[in-house]
Amino acid sequence: MNEQNDKELIALFKNPETTKQGFNKIVRTYNKRLYWHVRKIVICHDDANDVVQNTFIKVWKSLHNFRGDSQLYTWLYRIATNEALSFLKKKKKHLFQSIDAVSYQLESQIDGSYFTGTEIEKKLQKAILTLPTKQRLVFNMKYFDKLKYEEISEILGTSVGALKASFHHAKQKIEIKLTKD
C-alpha cells in the first residue's frame, strides 16, 4: 500500500458523506494483513478474528484524530499489536495459567485443524513460540511481514538498534531449536 492511497482512504473517511465507504475500504485493504499479523501473535484463528475486530473498532473510534505522523498501515499495525498483546495478557489472567501452560495451549493450536502448514512450518512456528514476546513480534514482522526496521520501530516504539539485536537473537534461538529437534 502506498502513502497516496492511504491519504485517499483517510480523506474518504474524514468526509462526512463518505465516512462509511472510506472505513469499509480501509478494512478491505488491511484486514487480511492485520489478520495474519495478529494470528502469528495469538495463534488461534477465532482469537485472531476477535482481536482484528477489536482493532477495527478502535480504528473507527479514533481515525478522525489520525494526524498522519506515520503511515496508516504502521498506525494500524501498532493498534493491532497492542490489541493482541492485551488479549494475551487478559487470557493469561483469566485462565490463571503459567507461561508454560499458555505456550503448550498455543502449541496445540499449531497441531490443530486450523494450521495447514508442512511439518517444517509447524516446527518453525513451535520454535517461534519459545521466543520472548518482543523477539517473537520482531521476528514475525521482519521475517513474515517483510517490514523494514524503521516501520517496526514506529509500531513497537523501540529503537532500530534494539530491533536488530532482537531479530538477531530470535534467529539464533530458532536455528538452535530447529537443529535440536
pLDDT bin (cut points 50, 70, 90) of residue 99 is: very low
Q: Give me the mean pLDDT over the 39-65 stretch.
A: 94
Do 125 and 105 sit in the same domain of this protein? Answer: no
Q: Which of these three, 116, 140, 160, is where a domain ends?
A: 116
User: Cα–Cα distance between 123 and 110 in angstroms, integer?
Assistant: 9
Please say if the pLDDT value at position 22 is more than 50: yes
* Greater pLDDT, 85 or 120: 85
| pLDDT reading at 69 higher than 60 | yes
Helices (H), 96-148: 99-111, 119-129, 133-139
Q: Which among 47-56, 63-72, 142-151 has the top mean pLDDT?
A: 47-56
Say if residue 83 is in the same domain as residue 33: yes
Same domain assignment for residues 15 and 65? yes
Say yes or no: 100 and 151 in one domain.
no
Residue with more model confidence, 124 or 105: 124
As a whole number, mean pLDDT of residues 37-54 equals 93
Residue 31, domain extent: 1-116
| Residues 78 and 43 occupy one common structural domain | yes
Where does the pLDDT of residue 1 fall: very low under 50, low under 70, confident under 90, or very high at 90 and above? low
Structural domain tally of the chain? 2
Distance CA(91)–CA(47), nearest Å, equals: 10
CA distances, 143 to each of 57, 58, 97, 117, 168 (Å): 28, 27, 29, 17, 11
Please give the average per-residue pLDDT across 148-156, as a whole number.
93
pLDDT band per the 50, 70, 90 thresholds, residue 104:
low
Residue 119 pLDDT > 90:
no
Q: Which residue has the cell 489478520?
A: 35
Percentage of residues of the chain with pLDDT beyond 90: 59
Q: What is the mean pLDDT of residues 43-47?
A: 89
In three-state secondary structure terms, 93 is: helix
Task: Give the pLDDT of residue 98.
Answer: 47
Reported pTM: 0.77
Average pLDDT, the chain: 85
